[in-house]
Structure 1
């Protein structure tokens, strides 16, 4: 097998038509770190990320800790400035907004946090918490109360709950309060940062069903950050996989879960538990070699090549002059060590950044299952 030729013209993974609610182009974020004796280093937390999001769509964002998910989400919400690139919401440039323009944007993009207790002020009554984003809205006290009461009722809470404090609620109720607060300014986009990871499984299902219903009711678009692939598959329309600051695969959920192309995606699917005990007992696990690389000193070429099980398999099929031996003795294709693979389309809705994308036969050989 030969290395895929790099495209001669740039193609970005935009699939949502001419008027997406969100469009991100070449977004990057670098952090400088000063060392001793005056030297410094640069960490690329997010590296040349591009994607779009259609109105009413849910885009899942997955990847191991440290891959850049949180940094990317903070840039989308304008909590930090990107080093380069642009973010557009319905054609309006978000990067660089200031003052009233920035405040108006933040009414359109809200966040639901991971920890439903830490995200609520323990000294503030629930009515004040839900109404907090409305402080500068110009609405009267009566209008604010009407909005708060309506949202609490929609979350399944009683009017009497408005005067209580966060510690008087369960975890699931607190997360519903956080969702109500995010919806108080009628946003277009919600960023869901591990919204159910701190909840019991039965409560997770209730909150996920609520979020799905709210998406239809309020015509919302979601970006869902999660480590739980079963949650991602249940809620998302498309899935984006990140590794060391880059998108390595993006596809509609069915394509990604049944026919993953990037070895890193395959390894994530391999590690996810399957609810069928018969399948679970017979599944193979893909154990990646070593630790994730240091983002301050990433490997050359493909950042995943030192841990990639598929690269060693492909090296055995290539001529010796196309193979490189690493310092740990493993052999990988030379292209993987010298050239950064671009995110290229395998189909109209499936993109991957790999010199040797995995085929269904490759997936079957390593025991990948679509039973999630």
Structure 2
């Protein structure tokens, strides 16, 4: 095994091109905490929260420098007395933003790892953990029954296409939004009804022509960019139904505060004063071993398929191009950096 490794570190607040640097000759850890394993990383999937924290949070809050990103797939290099074996192909996510995975090696708690299904590659597996866990836990929180309808706003986002597949596997009816160019993708995932959000303001469209019957749950996978979707949802979300937001924060802290203020006003006011008589919540992903194992099984039996938008190299040109692609917000599927070849 190598004695040194390289990692892409967040070194300061700013844009990736200026604030992310490659650090080489880092010592491969020889002392590993109990119930953790050392993983040789094969591929790392980027998440929007990575560059958004880089842009918005100062060093003293984030504890920089530290490796970027959290989702990955790799091979166990030191099982450290856990149930894993050296050579096991694994995927997962770092539960701490200060222990990133855009690196050749990383130390990860064993209870946030699962073995990669034999029918997919490490590149495919690298982006499964965070988005699939978010979708699994959101659908659990919506408490839907088989045959009921879930409305997924942002169906072509990573959380969106994950939730679509999971919802169909559970027997839910799915209505989802995306731009028209992604219609065939969503229909191919099993969406029962597609809405092109670019044709007209979404909340106005649903309010003027509400579904019959109403939706039983709403998952906003784009992160509450338009509070009107919640503020008007009594027109299209059934009584007892819940509205969940699961996207990452908008770029501006002031923008986020303004959106939350509008939502809270709608949530806390009585309905006769213009309040919204529907529950609102935000999904905070929890890294649970059982949920990861369930996701693995769904992928292994073909019920859920990972979607990869593009793959980039681990050098500076590749990593910067990967962040540029992610920041366009046009990626459909995960943006992946390939760190090493599978043996």
Q: Please confirm whether the aligned pair reaches a TM-score higher than 0.5, indicating the same fold.
A: no
Measured against the shorter chain, the TM-score band is under 0.3
TM-score (normalised: structure 2): 0.25
Higher percent of residues as strand: 2
TM-score (normalised: structure 1): 0.23
Structure showing greater radius of gyration is: 1
